Amino acid sequence: MPRVIGQPTSRIDARRKVTGRADYAAEALLPGMAHGVLVGATIASGRVEAIDTTAAERAPGVVLVLTHRNRGRLGAMPSGLDWTTGQALDPRPPLADDHVRYHGQYVALVVADTLEQAQHAARLVAVRYQEQPPLVALDDPRAPRVAPEAALGVPLRIERSAPVAPLDIDVDVACGDHGDCRGALAAAPVTVDHTYTSPAEHATAMEPHAAIASWTDGELVVHSSTQYVGGERAALAAAMEVPVERVRVVAPFVGGMFGSKIATGGHAVLAALAARQLGRPVKVVLTRPQVFATVTHRPASAQRITLGAGPDGRLQAIRHHTVTQSLVEDGYPDDNEYVEPTTFTSRMLYACPNYESAHELVRLNQMKPGWVRAPGEALCTWALESAMDELACRLGIDPVELRRRNHAAVRPGDGKPFSSKHLLACYDRGAERFGWAQRDPRPGSMRDGDVRIGWGMATATYPGLRLGATVRLRVERLDGSVTATVSTAGADVGQGLYTVVAMTAADALGLPVELISVELGDTRLPPCAQAGGSNLTASVASAIVDAAGELRRRLGVAPDAPFADAVLASGEAAVEAEATSTVIVGETDRLVFQSFGAVFVEVRVDPDLGRIRVARVVGVYDVGRVLNPLAARNQLAGGVVWGLGQALLEGLAYDPVHGQPINGDLAGYLVPVHADIPAIDVGWIDAPDLDFNPLGVRGMGEIGITGVAAAVASAVHHATGVRVRDLPISPERLLG
């Protein structure tokens, strides 16, 4: 039969979603289910001096009010990220004591028979605080600063951990700092030295965080909006102090996550605790303001980039100093201090003999930051690519040509080769599709009447990650035909995993997609990595190919022979096999795995109003083999939309006096809507990376965001002559 891989294929789960038959976490209906509503602190720093729950407990329908005074015992919050440990969003257990470290921190959980009763009673909880001035800004001189070892290029667990088996990842010093950066900068004929800032950014997934917990005969079942059922299972087992085998987490469909649903939130822990105390299911769904206040976000950053180059534009030195935020210390252990890995990109993107990095954390009264789509790369490319554009302008060299001159054929520092790299082709093809040769390099020279037109570009990149998956492939005879079921615990978070799993299995077995069933998002299924790090397709597809190969060997079927005929002839009612893909975290001993791309942007700027409209975007990417062109286009374009939001709109702001998010809802936190989105033309160099996995596919969920903000800033400068180094690029920054 014709191959399915490489053909545009509509999502097999689409009908379930548009007809309402796709079950999300908050939609599970359990007999006797109660509803929990969380009460958040109205201060950002201080302590709970007194809390009166009398009125709430007497309210109609209320069955339980939990505070730090009566919460009961909880185990330690885990800080790993593999299948056996899991991780908590907050190292402090929920309702642990009377200390308040950020606005919205949970101080009570009210449980009632109905949601309305719980909401009413939650408003009756009276809390008196002893308030302290909060720390909410990176440049606040009162805020403690630390320089974590993890940020300086020594052993790092938190950014690149493995999900199926524990794994330590060492960032080799050879591919970190190298050469004599200080001396090279002092001797460089041309230097660029600027600081680029960005505010805290939130994942803002469409589906709020939710959990429904129930206990039966000592076994906990949680329907959760999580992108990592295995990690959540382990975290809940640790918190509830029960064997992990007695916990089941279910998440067949997740309405978006973008990193914010990897770690286990306090809402899920408290739902499980309340359900155990009451002996009935308890449902807890965060409100949108609670999501903004109590769920991880991309940290605010200030990145100082110093480039030293010769007159020909060839880099002689790069220094990258990053300052990002972390949570104030409170005496609870946090082995997973979150450090945004900005320097992972700057140390490898361009050929440069001298490199130096440093990282500082500023402790603030804000929820602990964490993974948000393309963590590290999204921020680094904003700063590094902006600096590269400034260097190009300073030297009068075309921005594309400058990047070509500094192309790294091997990884700087240690000379390790890339498994597959076609970045130069991305530059060429992207420039041709965009019409870059028609660009007049003089700022302000391109106009349409009174409107200023600007063209900018940047490099995009993201590592090739394969974090491991076990897949069970079961083939059955049914009414004279053959069907197959593919099972793994990976979550479909909207990226189209159901479809690509079915396509891969159909190709491997020679069966129509319609005869493939897919089971996902349940800890009863074989273990799988989190849906994150653009790894899941590469991880799961590799295991499917291996499992299908095992079935073919078992039945004596040649690789290209019809599989169904052999199953029918075998006389067996069903055959099955399992396979596990190995973990690859960006590199092996021999090779570096990295995706690349080039993004080109046109903006139109009204000089009187400072209004910026992005007119079009062209992006070309080197992401290995593309399994489903339809899904690939959506993923890459979706990433570009994220980049436009980062460039022009997004930023979580805090009241400096009270520490409260002042735009912590969808009315105040701006994200791109349809009217903001221009024509987006994305393409790819379809070059399989067969050293990475048997199908040659690398992930593409995150690379689309990288480079976009810098390309927009470059285009704005080209249009207006104004260089903006602080995100978002708002009209007042142009007019001020």
Neighbours of 721 (CB within 10 A): 14
Pair 639, 623: CB distance under 8 Å: no
- What is the rounded CA–CA span in Å between residue 400 and residue 618? 14
What end-to-end distance do the CA atoms of the chain give, in Å? 63
Q: Write the burial class of residue 588 (CB in 10 Å: 0-12 exposed, 13-18 middle, 19+ buried).
A: middle
The whole-angstrom separation of Cα 17 and Cα 126 is 41
Q: Is 390 a catalytic residue?
A: no
For residue 681, what are its two tokens?
């033309």
Helices (H), 480-618: 497-509, 536-555, 563-570
Burial of 512 from C-beta contacts in 10 A (0-12 / 13-18 / 19+): middle
- Separation of CA 284 from chain center: 24
What is the chain's percent helix, strand, coil content, to nearest 5? 30, 25, 45
Q: What DSSP character marks residue 699?
A: -
Peptide bond into 656 cis (omega under 30): no
CB-CB contact of 599 with 385 (8 Å) = no
Q: Find tokens 């079950």 and name the residue.
A: 23
DSSP string, 61-104: TEEEEE-TTT----PPPPB--STTT-BBSSSSPTT-SSEE-STT
Give me the catalytic one of 337, 356, 360, 702.
702
Are 182 and 190 contacting, i.e. CB atoms less than 8 angstroms apart?
no
Q: Which two tokens stand for residue 732?
A: 């007042």
Region at 435 (left for phi over 0; alpha for psi -120 to 50; beta for the rest): left
Distances (CA, A) of 506 to 92, 168, 408, 475: 46, 35, 38, 11
Helix (H, G, I), strand (E, B) or coil at 108: strand
CB within 8 A of 542, min separation 6: which ones?
Answer: 466, 469, 581, 693, 694, 695
Beta bridge partners, 557, equal: none
**Contact at 8 Å (CB) between 347 and 357?**
yes
Distance of CA 232 to the CA centre of its chain: 17
- The Cα–Cα gap between 16 and 393 comes to 52
- Residue with the two structure tokens 């005869």: 515
Local structure of 343: helix, strand or coil: helix
Residue 482 CB neighbours (<10 A): 19
List the strands of the sheet with 574-581, edge to edge: 516-519, 481-487, 469-478, 574-581
500 Cβ partners below 8 Å, 6+ apart? 537, 540, 541, 627, 628, 631
Separation CA 436–CA 361 (nearest Å): 40
Grouping H, G, I as helix, E, B as strand and the rest as coil, residue 556 is coil
Instruction: State both tokens at 585.
Output: 């975290």
598 contacts 426 by C-beta, under 8 angstroms = yes
- The candidate with the shortest Cα–Cα distance to 611, out of 733, 706, 724, is 733
d(CA 456, CA 59): 60
Provide the annotated active-site residues: 702
